[in-house]
Amino acid sequence: MLLAAGSGHSAGPLGMADIFAAFYFHILNHNPKKPLWKDRDRLIVSNGHICPIQYATLAYAGYFPVDDLKKLRKIGSPLQGHPHRGAAPGVETTSGPLGSGLAQACGVALAGRLDEKQYRTYCFVSDGEQQEGNTWEAVLFAGRHRLDRLTAVMDRNMIQIDGNTEDIMPLRSLREKYEAFGWDVLEIDGHNIREVIDAVHEAEAIQTQPTMIIAHTIPGKGVSFMEGDYHWHGKPPKDDEAKAALKELRTLGDRISSE
């Protein structure tokens, strides 16, 4: 996908692949044939730059043909470089500019409460966007209004475009911050699908406040030369790199689908 597009982000999507698979194939109450079904669980992806993995997961879940994935970032395509609501089925909201997804998820969760709906609202956020003020306004809001049907998952991969998060702008203890603002916090291995599913179920049991699941992930997971290297945050592989990466991923591929 990224090779055909010629631009885009490599590390984040690979690091979140296991979590996306867990959500679309195990957790979400959804219907790919009815993407606007009113009672569906909502998944808001705040860190829109990782959309290649969302698009791939949506395609394999049946929202649109897998062939369409080649249209990523092409003119006239539903697969915009950063996701846009209404463009591709299954994309709940527009995102890309960091820090605005969690607040939108608060609004979606609040609407569900007002309408007495049973759906749950999930929001994927990155660790880099914990540097955005907008994120913390949402954290305060969700705590203040006790949005218990809101569960966020943070891709704690320790990198951002310019380097490692703790070098660029240290985030320090995210658990303590969220707890202080009235959230329940769980920490998991983001590559262990069982842990992802268990944590979501645990969050469902918490009926007094929102939950943040801090998922420790490895950026570029599954591709040895990308893993943990922030240089792969915002660029696509070249032709030979893509071949090598796909070979590595394919030899591990069964691990995900057999889970």
Per CB under 8 A, residues contacting another protein are: 44, 84-86, 92-97, 100, 103-112, 114-115, 133-134, 137-138, 140-141, 144-145
The DSSP code for 83 is -
Q: How far is the CB of 175 from another protein (least distance, A)?
A: 22
Q: How far is the CB of 97 from another protein (least distance, A)?
A: 5
Q: How far is the CB of 167 from another protein (least distance, A)?
A: 26
Which one, 133 or 170, has the nearer CB to another protein? 133
Query: Across-strand partners of 45?
Result: 124
Compute the distance between CA of residue 155 and CA of residue 148 in angstroms, rounded to an integer.
Answer: 20
Which one, 95 or 130, has the nearer CB to another protein? 95
The DSSP code for 246 is H
Q: How far is the CB of 111 from another protein (least distance, A)?
A: 3
Q: How far is the CB of 211 from another protein (least distance, A)?
A: 18
Q: How far is the CB of 122 from another protein (least distance, A)?
A: 13
Which one, 49 or 216, has the nearer CB to another protein? 49
Query: Across-strand partners of 187?
Result: 214
Structure-token pair, residue 150: 């809101």
Report the half-sphere exposure of 259 (CA within 13 A, side-chain side).
Answer: 20
Which one, 89 or 97, has the nearer CB to another protein? 97
Work out whether the CA dihedral 34, 36, 42, 43 comes out positive or negative: positive
Which one, 138 or 214, has the nearer CB to another protein? 138
Q: How far is the CB of 77 from another protein (least distance, A)?
A: 16
Burial of 67 (0-12, 13-18, 19+ CB in 10 A): exposed
Non-local CB neighbours of 92 within 8 Å, separated by 6+ positions: 42, 43, 44, 45, 85, 108
Which one, 97 or 228, has the nearer CB to another protein? 97
Q: What are the residue ranges of helices labelled H in the chain?
A: 2-5, 11-15, 17-22, 51-61, 101-114, 133-144, 165-168, 174-180, 193-205, 239-257
Which one, 123 or 218, has the nearer CB to another protein? 123
Helix, coil or strand: residue 46: coil
